[in-house]
Structure 1
Amino acid sequence: MKYLPIFLLLLLSYTAHAQSDEQAIDEVLSGIHTYASTANFDAYFDLYTEEAIFMGTDATERWTIDEFKGYARPAFDRGTGWTYVMTERNIFVSEDGNTAWFDELLENDGFGQCRGTGALVKTNGGWKVSQYNLTVPIPNDLLRKVAGMIGDLQPEN
Protein backbone atom coordinates (compact mmCIF):
# COMPACT_ATOMS: atom_id res chain seq x y z
CA MET A 1 0.00 0.00 0.00
CA LYS A 2 2.88 2.37 0.71
CA TYR A 3 3.98 2.13 -2.95
CA LEU A 4 0.59 3.10 -4.34
CA PRO A 5 1.18 6.88 -4.08
CA ILE A 6 4.55 6.52 -5.84
CA PHE A 7 2.98 4.42 -8.58
CA LEU A 8 0.16 6.94 -9.06
CA LEU A 9 2.63 9.82 -9.19
CA LEU A 10 4.70 8.05 -11.85
CA LEU A 11 1.57 7.22 -13.83
CA LEU A 12 0.38 10.83 -13.72
CA SER A 13 3.83 12.07 -14.71
CA TYR A 14 3.95 9.70 -17.70
CA THR A 15 0.42 10.66 -18.77
CA ALA A 16 1.19 14.39 -18.50
CA HIS A 17 4.38 13.93 -20.54
CA ALA A 18 2.53 12.01 -23.26
CA GLN A 19 -0.18 14.67 -23.35
CA SER A 20 2.40 17.45 -23.62
CA ASP A 21 4.09 15.62 -26.54
CA GLU A 22 0.75 15.21 -28.28
CA GLN A 23 -0.07 18.87 -27.69
CA ALA A 24 3.32 19.96 -29.07
CA ILE A 25 2.85 17.74 -32.13
CA ASP A 26 -0.65 19.10 -32.65
CA GLU A 27 0.78 22.63 -32.56
CA VAL A 28 3.44 21.73 -35.17
CA LEU A 29 0.85 20.22 -37.52
CA SER A 30 -1.53 23.14 -37.03
CA GLY A 31 1.40 25.49 -37.64
CA ILE A 32 2.12 23.81 -40.95
CA HIS A 33 -1.39 24.57 -42.15
CA THR A 34 -1.40 28.11 -40.73
CA TYR A 35 1.98 29.02 -42.22
CA ALA A 36 1.10 27.51 -45.61
CA SER A 37 -2.15 29.46 -45.67
CA THR A 38 -0.39 32.72 -44.82
CA ALA A 39 2.55 31.97 -47.16
CA ASN A 40 5.09 32.24 -44.33
CA PHE A 41 7.97 30.38 -46.01
CA ASP A 42 10.53 30.43 -43.19
CA ALA A 43 8.10 29.52 -40.41
CA TYR A 44 6.57 26.77 -42.56
CA PHE A 45 9.84 25.08 -43.45
CA ASP A 46 11.26 25.48 -39.93
CA LEU A 47 8.73 22.82 -38.91
CA TYR A 48 10.41 20.15 -41.09
CA THR A 49 13.65 18.22 -40.54
CA GLU A 50 16.54 18.81 -42.93
CA GLU A 51 15.98 15.29 -44.32
CA ALA A 52 12.19 15.56 -44.63
CA ILE A 53 10.26 14.11 -47.54
CA PHE A 54 7.00 15.63 -48.81
CA MET A 55 4.72 13.55 -51.00
CA GLY A 56 2.01 15.38 -52.89
CA THR A 57 -1.14 14.12 -54.54
CA ASP A 58 0.51 13.33 -57.88
CA ALA A 59 2.59 10.14 -58.13
CA THR A 60 5.54 12.24 -59.36
CA GLU A 61 5.48 14.48 -56.29
CA ARG A 62 8.06 12.90 -53.99
CA TRP A 63 10.26 15.75 -52.90
CA THR A 64 13.21 16.17 -50.59
CA ILE A 65 12.73 19.21 -48.42
CA ASP A 66 15.00 21.25 -50.71
CA GLU A 67 13.01 20.20 -53.79
CA PHE A 68 9.78 21.02 -51.97
CA LYS A 69 11.14 24.45 -51.05
CA GLY A 70 11.83 25.04 -54.74
CA TYR A 71 8.26 24.06 -55.59
CA ALA A 72 6.73 26.20 -52.83
CA ARG A 73 8.92 29.30 -53.09
CA PRO A 74 7.14 30.95 -56.07
CA ALA A 75 3.69 30.56 -54.50
CA PHE A 76 4.85 31.78 -51.10
CA ASP A 77 6.69 34.72 -52.69
CA ARG A 78 3.42 35.72 -54.39
CA GLY A 79 1.72 35.54 -50.99
CA THR A 80 -0.48 32.68 -52.12
CA GLY A 81 0.31 29.53 -50.21
CA TRP A 82 -2.34 26.86 -49.87
CA THR A 83 -5.11 26.39 -47.36
CA TYR A 84 -6.09 23.07 -45.82
CA VAL A 85 -8.37 23.11 -42.79
CA MET A 86 -7.96 20.20 -40.40
CA THR A 87 -11.24 18.53 -39.45
CA GLU A 88 -9.92 15.46 -37.64
CA ARG A 89 -6.49 14.45 -36.36
CA ASN A 90 -5.04 11.36 -34.68
CA ILE A 91 -1.57 11.45 -33.13
CA PHE A 92 0.47 8.51 -31.88
CA VAL A 93 3.76 8.74 -29.95
CA SER A 94 6.26 5.88 -29.78
CA GLU A 95 7.04 4.26 -26.44
CA ASP A 96 10.46 5.90 -26.28
CA GLY A 97 8.85 9.31 -26.93
CA ASN A 98 11.18 10.24 -29.80
CA THR A 99 9.01 9.42 -32.81
CA ALA A 100 5.40 10.13 -33.65
CA TRP A 101 3.03 9.54 -36.52
CA PHE A 102 -0.31 10.99 -37.43
CA ASP A 103 -3.22 10.99 -39.78
CA GLU A 104 -5.56 13.89 -40.37
CA LEU A 105 -8.55 14.75 -42.51
CA LEU A 106 -8.41 18.14 -44.20
CA GLU A 107 -10.75 20.31 -46.24
CA ASN A 108 -9.54 22.28 -49.24
CA ASP A 109 -11.66 24.60 -51.39
CA GLY A 110 -10.37 23.10 -54.65
CA PHE A 111 -9.88 19.44 -53.77
CA GLY A 112 -12.54 18.86 -51.11
CA GLN A 113 -11.65 16.29 -48.48
CA CYS A 114 -7.97 15.36 -48.31
CA ARG A 115 -5.89 13.25 -45.97
CA GLY A 116 -2.50 14.03 -44.52
CA THR A 117 -0.34 11.36 -42.94
CA GLY A 118 3.21 11.43 -41.78
CA ALA A 119 5.86 11.14 -39.13
CA LEU A 120 7.64 13.47 -36.75
CA VAL A 121 10.84 13.17 -34.74
CA LYS A 122 11.76 14.88 -31.51
CA THR A 123 14.82 17.09 -32.01
CA ASN A 124 16.72 19.48 -29.76
CA GLY A 125 14.53 22.18 -31.31
CA GLY A 126 11.29 20.34 -30.57
CA TRP A 127 9.10 18.15 -32.76
CA LYS A 128 9.75 18.33 -36.53
CA VAL A 129 8.00 16.70 -39.46
CA SER A 130 10.19 14.12 -41.18
CA GLN A 131 7.58 12.98 -43.69
CA TYR A 132 4.27 14.40 -44.89
CA ASN A 133 2.02 12.64 -47.38
CA LEU A 134 -0.98 14.50 -48.84
CA THR A 135 -3.64 12.37 -50.52
CA VAL A 136 -7.15 12.72 -51.85
CA PRO A 137 -9.24 9.81 -50.58
CA ILE A 138 -11.32 8.23 -53.32
CA PRO A 139 -14.64 6.61 -52.43
CA ASN A 140 -14.50 2.87 -53.17
CA ASP A 141 -17.48 3.16 -55.53
CA LEU A 142 -15.43 5.54 -57.73
CA LEU A 143 -12.04 3.83 -57.46
CA ARG A 144 -12.18 1.74 -60.66
CA LYS A 145 -13.38 4.72 -62.69
CA VAL A 146 -10.68 7.02 -61.28
CA ALA A 147 -7.99 4.35 -61.70
CA GLY A 148 -9.07 3.99 -65.33
CA MET A 149 -8.86 7.75 -65.86
CA ILE A 150 -5.35 7.77 -64.39
CA GLY A 151 -4.40 4.82 -66.57
CA ASP A 152 -5.59 6.72 -69.65
CA LEU A 153 -3.04 9.44 -68.83
CA GLN A 154 -0.11 7.01 -68.66
CA PRO A 155 2.11 6.76 -71.72
CA GLU A 156 1.93 3.42 -73.52
CA ASN A 157 4.97 1.16 -73.13
Structure 2
Amino acid sequence: MKRFLTACFLFLGLFGHAHAETDPALVRQVNAFVDEWHEDAANARMAYFDKMAKEGVYIGTDRSELWKRDEFKAWARKYFERKSAWSFKATRRNVYASADASIIWFDELLDTPNMGPCMASGVIRKTRKGFEILHYQLSMAVPNEVNGQVKKLIDESAKKATP
Protein backbone atom coordinates (compact mmCIF):
# COMPACT_ATOMS: atom_id res chain seq x y z
CA MET A 1 0.00 0.00 0.00
CA LYS A 2 2.86 2.32 0.83
CA ARG A 3 4.34 1.81 -2.67
CA PHE A 4 0.95 2.51 -4.25
CA LEU A 5 0.56 5.79 -2.36
CA THR A 6 4.13 6.79 -3.21
CA ALA A 7 3.47 6.08 -6.91
CA CYS A 8 0.26 8.13 -6.77
CA PHE A 9 2.02 11.09 -5.19
CA LEU A 10 4.85 10.90 -7.72
CA PHE A 11 2.39 10.79 -10.62
CA LEU A 12 0.38 13.70 -9.27
CA GLY A 13 3.56 15.63 -8.63
CA LEU A 14 4.80 15.07 -12.18
CA PHE A 15 1.42 15.97 -13.64
CA GLY A 16 1.13 19.08 -11.52
CA HIS A 17 4.66 20.13 -12.44
CA ALA A 18 4.08 19.50 -16.13
CA HIS A 19 0.74 21.28 -16.15
CA ALA A 20 1.96 24.35 -14.30
CA GLU A 21 5.32 24.91 -15.97
CA THR A 22 5.20 23.93 -19.65
CA ASP A 23 8.09 25.76 -21.28
CA PRO A 24 6.78 28.57 -23.53
CA ALA A 25 9.40 27.78 -26.19
CA LEU A 26 8.24 24.14 -26.26
CA VAL A 27 4.61 25.29 -26.52
CA ARG A 28 5.50 27.43 -29.56
CA GLN A 29 7.33 24.48 -31.18
CA VAL A 30 4.42 22.12 -30.55
CA ASN A 31 1.90 24.65 -31.84
CA ALA A 32 3.94 25.11 -35.03
CA PHE A 33 4.27 21.33 -35.48
CA VAL A 34 0.54 20.59 -34.97
CA ASP A 35 -0.51 23.59 -37.08
CA GLU A 36 1.77 22.35 -39.89
CA TRP A 37 0.27 18.85 -39.53
CA HIS A 38 -3.22 20.32 -40.00
CA GLU A 39 -1.95 22.41 -42.94
CA ASP A 40 -0.55 19.25 -44.56
CA ALA A 41 -4.08 17.79 -44.58
CA ALA A 42 -5.62 21.05 -45.77
CA ASN A 43 -3.20 21.01 -48.72
CA ALA A 44 -3.31 17.22 -49.28
CA ARG A 45 0.39 16.79 -48.55
CA MET A 46 1.38 13.21 -47.78
CA ALA A 47 3.93 14.61 -45.29
CA TYR A 48 0.91 14.56 -42.97
CA PHE A 49 1.51 10.85 -42.31
CA ASP A 50 5.26 11.31 -41.82
CA LYS A 51 4.46 13.37 -38.73
CA MET A 52 2.84 10.33 -37.12
CA ALA A 53 4.85 7.64 -35.37
CA LYS A 54 4.80 4.28 -37.15
CA GLU A 55 2.80 2.90 -34.21
CA GLY A 56 0.73 6.10 -34.03
CA VAL A 57 -3.04 5.89 -33.61
CA TYR A 58 -5.73 8.12 -35.13
CA ILE A 59 -9.27 7.98 -33.77
CA GLY A 60 -11.87 9.73 -35.92
CA THR A 61 -15.44 10.76 -35.20
CA ASP A 62 -17.11 7.57 -36.46
CA ARG A 63 -17.03 4.61 -34.09
CA SER A 64 -15.33 2.55 -36.79
CA GLU A 65 -12.45 5.02 -37.17
CA LEU A 66 -9.60 3.58 -35.10
CA TRP A 67 -6.43 3.18 -37.11
CA LYS A 68 -2.71 2.67 -36.82
CA ARG A 69 -0.82 5.13 -39.02
CA ASP A 70 -0.42 2.93 -42.10
CA GLU A 71 -4.08 1.79 -42.01
CA PHE A 72 -5.13 5.43 -41.67
CA LYS A 73 -2.90 6.41 -44.60
CA ALA A 74 -4.47 3.69 -46.79
CA TRP A 75 -8.00 4.75 -45.80
CA ALA A 76 -7.27 8.46 -46.35
CA ARG A 77 -5.42 8.09 -49.66
CA LYS A 78 -8.55 8.98 -51.69
CA TYR A 79 -8.85 12.26 -49.75
CA PHE A 80 -5.20 13.14 -50.32
CA GLU A 81 -5.64 12.71 -54.07
CA ARG A 82 -7.78 15.87 -54.03
CA LYS A 83 -6.61 19.46 -53.63
CA SER A 84 -7.47 19.33 -49.91
CA ALA A 85 -8.06 16.29 -47.70
CA TRP A 86 -9.73 18.08 -44.76
CA SER A 87 -9.29 21.39 -43.02
CA PHE A 88 -8.87 21.79 -39.26
CA LYS A 89 -8.01 25.19 -37.82
CA ALA A 90 -7.19 25.32 -34.12
CA THR A 91 -8.96 28.14 -32.31
CA ARG A 92 -7.50 27.15 -28.92
CA ARG A 93 -4.85 24.68 -27.86
CA ASN A 94 -3.48 23.73 -24.46
CA VAL A 95 -0.07 22.06 -24.35
CA TYR A 96 1.40 20.05 -21.47
CA ALA A 97 4.66 18.12 -21.14
CA SER A 98 6.40 15.58 -18.96
CA ALA A 99 9.16 16.96 -16.73
CA ASP A 100 11.83 15.99 -19.30
CA ALA A 101 9.64 17.20 -22.23
CA SER A 102 9.94 13.86 -24.01
CA ILE A 103 6.17 13.29 -23.93
CA ILE A 104 3.78 16.12 -24.77
CA TRP A 105 0.02 16.07 -24.73
CA PHE A 106 -2.45 18.65 -25.93
CA ASP A 107 -6.11 19.38 -26.39
CA GLU A 108 -7.56 21.70 -28.99
CA LEU A 109 -10.76 23.27 -30.21
CA LEU A 110 -11.05 23.15 -33.98
CA ASP A 111 -12.99 25.02 -36.59
CA THR A 112 -13.81 22.65 -39.46
CA PRO A 113 -15.82 23.61 -42.55
CA ASN A 114 -17.42 20.17 -42.96
CA MET A 115 -18.13 19.09 -39.36
CA GLY A 116 -18.44 22.41 -37.56
CA PRO A 117 -16.77 22.81 -34.19
CA CYS A 118 -14.67 19.85 -33.10
CA MET A 119 -12.42 18.98 -30.21
CA ALA A 120 -9.31 16.83 -30.25
CA SER A 121 -6.53 15.63 -28.03
CA GLY A 122 -3.17 14.23 -28.90
CA VAL A 123 0.05 12.79 -27.54
CA ILE A 124 3.41 13.64 -29.08
CA ARG A 125 6.82 12.10 -28.54
CA LYS A 126 9.90 14.30 -28.81
CA THR A 127 12.79 12.49 -30.51
CA ARG A 128 16.26 13.52 -31.69
CA LYS A 129 14.73 13.97 -35.16
CA GLY A 130 11.84 16.12 -33.90
CA PHE A 131 8.24 15.48 -32.89
CA GLU A 132 5.98 12.58 -33.85
CA ILE A 133 2.32 12.05 -33.08
CA LEU A 134 1.63 8.92 -31.06
CA HIS A 135 -2.10 9.35 -30.57
CA TYR A 136 -4.78 11.72 -31.88
CA GLN A 137 -8.47 11.62 -31.11
CA LEU A 138 -11.00 13.80 -32.89
CA SER A 139 -14.57 14.37 -31.74
CA MET A 140 -17.43 16.60 -32.77
CA ALA A 141 -18.28 19.25 -30.19
CA VAL A 142 -21.98 18.64 -29.62
CA PRO A 143 -23.72 21.26 -27.46
CA ASN A 144 -25.36 19.67 -24.41
CA GLU A 145 -28.73 21.15 -25.29
CA VAL A 146 -28.90 19.19 -28.57
CA ASN A 147 -27.30 15.99 -27.31
CA GLY A 148 -30.69 14.22 -27.12
CA GLN A 149 -31.42 15.02 -30.77
CA VAL A 150 -27.98 13.80 -31.84
CA LYS A 151 -28.37 10.59 -29.84
CA LYS A 152 -31.72 9.97 -31.52
CA LEU A 153 -30.10 10.35 -34.96
CA ILE A 154 -27.30 7.99 -33.95
CA ASP A 155 -29.82 5.41 -32.70
CA GLU A 156 -31.83 5.67 -35.93
CA SER A 157 -28.66 5.23 -37.99
CA ALA A 158 -27.65 2.18 -35.96
CA LYS A 159 -31.09 0.59 -36.51
CA LYS A 160 -30.76 1.07 -40.30
CA ALA A 161 -27.31 -0.51 -40.26
CA THR A 162 -28.45 -3.58 -38.29
CA PRO A 163 -30.19 -6.28 -40.40
- Scaled to the shorter chain, the TM-score interval is 0.7 to 0.9
2:37 to 25, 32, 36: 32
What is the TM-score with the length of structure 2 in the denominator? 0.80
RMSD value over aligned CA atoms? 1.7
Within the candidate set 139, 142, 160, 1:138 is matched to: 142
Listed as ranges, the matches of 1:6-155 within 5 Å are: 18-41=23-46, 43-155=47-159
Alpha-carbon deviation of 1:19? Answer: 2.3
- TM-score when normalising by structure 1: 0.83
Instruction: Check whether the contact 1:98–1:122 (CA below 8 A) recurs between aligned residues.
Output: yes
- Alignment: residue pair count: 141
- How far residue 28 of structure 1 moved from its aligned partner, in angstroms, is 1.2
Could you list the per-position Cα deviations for residues 97-120 of structure 1 after superposition, in whole angstroms to 9, with x for gaps in the alignment? 111111111111121111121111
Q: Deviations along 1:54-81, whole A, 9 cap, x unmatched?
A: 0111011001101110112121123331
For 1:19 and 1:107, how far apart are their aligned partners in 2?
A: 24
Distance 1:37 1:130 in 2: 20
Instruction: Specify the structure having the higher radius of gyration (Cα).
Output: 1
User: Matched residues in 2 for 1:57 and 1:40: separation?
Assistant: 22
Moved over 3 A (4+): none
1:4-38 CA deviation, whole Å, 9 max, x = no partner? xxxxxxxxxxx7x9222222211111011111011
Q: Distance in 2 between matches of 1:128 and 1:93?
A: 14
Task: Provide structure 1 residue ranges, at least 5 long, that are not aligned to the other structure.
Answer: 1-14
